[in-house]
Amino acid sequence: MTDLSINTRLAEKILTGFIHTEITRFGIKHAVIGLSGGIDSALSCFLAAKALGPENVLAVRMPYSSSSLDSLVDAQHVIDITGVNSLTIPITEMVDPLFSRFPEMEYMRRGNVMARARMIVLYDQSEAFGGLVVGTGNKTEILLGYSTLYGDSACAFNPIGDLYKTQVRQLSRAIGIPAEIIDKAPSADLWAGQTDEDELGFTYEQVDQLLYLFVDQRYRPEDLIEAGFSKNFVDTVIERVRRNQFKRILPPIAKLTNRTVGYDFLYLRDWGT
């Protein structure tokens, strides 16, 4: 089994420095985080509180009527430990009219609507609080496309996006996130009983091993099979990575000039930093 261990002290130093730099480079002091009660948002919240001071961080809980009470309790535990500012803004009245308009809407569509409604709330609070929205997606989710475009994937910057889920757990233990948050089954809490791993069809521990070799070590599919992964598992994961590339890039712009945004107008020197 591949060792995905990280130097947690160094990782914490780099990530808190990253948060401070990305916030303050624009003359801003504050950060806004959607706090679900899960490990990823808890880690981003802990890191932001340390980087900026808890008084400069706003954590927003955004439950739907069917959201787990345990998630609200866990999120409150993070708020209490870190001392950050907090708001609870239910999204039920925002999304239920659309659900009523389309009663045939299946779980996936409903989940996407809720994720995008939450981002509306976060960006509104970004303006009200005068802060940037901090991302909470890990590397595993980003590679697999396990997120909602313009929903939970939307942010100004992401401090934990280069940590696999197993590494998120390791760093979370090191910085003191409560064990009940670290050890519970990962869930987007979009409907009762929903878990990430049930939806994906494999565990984060399994897929992190494969993704690390495929992405970081540049293994070819045949190398992964030779390393002991089943062909079906390799094909499934690589197809997910390929199919979801559009979620990992800005929308492509058709090039007509010599200075196209995203192609040529791309570097720090171009926009004055």
Domain ranges of the chain: 8-198
Per residue in 34-85, pLDDT (tens digit) is: 999 999 999 999 999 999 999 999 999 999 998 889 999 999 999 999 999 9
Question: Tokens at residue 3, please?
Answer: 């060792």
Q: Which residues contact 184 (CB under 8 A, 6 or more apart)?
A: 38, 70, 74
Fold designation for 8-198:
Rossmann fold (3.40.50)
The residue-averaged pLDDT of 236-263 equals 93
The predicted pLDDT at position 3 comes to: 86
Q: What is the DSSP string of the chain?
A: -------HHHHHHHHHHHHHHHHHTTT--EEEEE--SSHHHHHHHHHHHHHH-GGGEEEEE---TTS-HHHHHHHHHHHHHH--EEEE---HHHHHHHHHH-TT--HHHHHHHHHHHHHHHHHHHHHHHTEEEBP---HHHHHHT-S-TTTTT--SB-SSTTS-HHHHHHHHHHHT--HHHHHSPP---SSTT--HHHHHTS-HHHHHHHHIIIIIS---HHHHHHTT--HHHHHHHHHHHHHTGGGGSPPP----SSS-BTTTBTSGGGGT-
pLDDT of 140 higher than 80: yes
The predicted pLDDT at position 1 comes to: 72
Confidence of residue 194 (pLDDT cuts 50, 70, 90): low
The residue whose two tokens read 């901090």 is 134
